Amino acid sequence: MNIFVTGAAGFIGSNYVRHRLSKHPDDRVVAYDLLTYAGNRPNLADVEDRITFVQGDIGETDHVETLLHAFDIDAIVNFAAESHNSLAVLDPALFFRTNVLGTQGLCEAARRAGVARFHHVSTCEVYGDLPLDDDTAIFTEESPYRPRTPYNASKAGGDHVVRSYHETWGLPITITNCANNFGAYQFPEKIIPLFTTNALDDKALPVYRSSENRREWIHAVDHADAIDLILESGRVGETYHVGTGVELSVAEITDMVLDELDKPRSLVEIVPDRPGHDRRYLLDWSKIRRELAWEPKIEPEAGIRETIRWYAEHREWWEPLRARAPVAEGTATWSRGD
């Protein structure tokens, strides 16, 4: 299969490329990425000789269409997105340009080129949030979209664009809404790599006042495995949730980082919440389990501890990236994306 992977140099995209090639070594992968601050070509260094890398914007419809024809692309997997919730508060226009208009441009290129499958990667955050005091509350694939932040709204808009191309022109799409991802190669602005790299340098860990807010966690490799299965066997036009059912609070993540690195609790710095900070996400992923027999393989707590150790052992990877973060340390209210 010839696959066009957008956002391929980012965190989840690079993990997917690596996973896809391990499972399907004969595939031809075209890795497409604009290389914004969070796109890091060295993320693909270990597979560089097995891919074709092209730098570009998903919104450049004519250019993308030319590439789709040139490489005889069978399937597109779209990871390309602005994803930093805190940055979206400061620059919402950037998020709507990429996540809505960029997605539309990519869909149009796919439609013109007659691509056989278009998979779009979304997030649990399009549904809004769940109460902390009701453990039975959960999002299903039929839950209404109620985004509460510019990032969430931009991702919701992108989902609607993808569905509209399926309903109007028959573009053969699938969509996944996933839990919070963790793993190697995540840009050090998100909670696990940020807290880990800060703790390693004995710097403050900016913990929001709402530290009991919870997220569902999934390893990026498990997420990649689910997408791979959906691309091969998922039903066209369908949405699938990808989760684990394992929730951990910000406070629990903080404790895991400090414990794993043997660092003191005095590094914790309580900071004000960002605007629109969601309380809780949890996905019902029974559909993908029932239809495709998918199950996550990596237990989140063990995987998070392994991830913390990965950052501790790969300073040469993350240290040069710190200066590229668009939100300066010290903007206390909106200094972290999770």
Q: What percent of the chain shows pLDDT beyond 90?
A: 86
The pLDDT value recorded for residue 332 is 40
How many Å apart are CA 41 and CA 186, to the nearest integer? 13
How many Å apart are CA 157 and CA 99, to the nearest integer? 7
Structure-token pair, residue 283: 């996905």
Average pLDDT, the chain: 93
| CATH superfamily assigned to domain 2-181+217-242 | NAD(P)-binding Rossmann-like Domain (3.40.50.720)
pLDDT in tens, 260-272: 999 999 999 998 8
**Over 50: is that where the pLDDT of 330 sits?**
no
H/E run at residue 239: strand 239-242
The pLDDT value recorded for residue 39 is 93
Quickly name the fold that domain 186-215+247-277+299-334 has.
Answer: UDP-galactose 4-epimerase; domain 1 (3.90.25)
Say if residues 176 and 158 touch (Cβ distance below 8 Å): no
Q: Where in the chain is the domain with CATH 3.40.50.720?
A: 2-181+217-242
Distances 297 to 82, 98, 306 between C-alpha atoms, Å? 28, 32, 14
123 strand-pairing partners? 178
**Over 70: is that where the pLDDT of 327 sits?**
no
The pLDDT value recorded for residue 338 is 60
Beta 2-6 vs 28-33: how paired, if at all? parallel
**Over 50: is that where the pLDDT of 328 sits?**
no
How many Å apart are CA 173 and CA 193, to the nearest integer? 32
pLDDT in tens, 194-241: 999 999 999 999 998 767 789 999 999 999 999 999 999 999 999 999
Q: Looking at residues 173-192, what average pLDDT do you find?
A: 96
pLDDT in tens, 98-154: 999 999 999 999 999 999 999 999 999 999 999 989 989 999 999 999 999 999 999
Given the structure tokens 């392994």, which residue do they identify? 306
Structure-token pair, residue 115: 């691509």
Q: Looking at residues 285-301, what average pLDDT do you find?
A: 98
Q: Where in the chain is the domain with CATH 3.90.25.10?
A: 186-215+247-277+299-334
- Global model pTM greater than 0.85: yes
Structure-token pair, residue 277: 């900070």
**pLDDT confidence bin for 279, thresholds 50/70/90:** confident
Q: Looking at residues 47-68, what average pLDDT do you find?
A: 98
**Over 90: is that where the pLDDT of 314 sits?**
yes
Structure-token pair, residue 110: 């796919």
The pLDDT value recorded for residue 333 is 39
The pLDDT value recorded for residue 335 is 45
268 strand-pairing partners? 205
How many Å apart are CA 77 and CA 197, to the nearest integer? 30
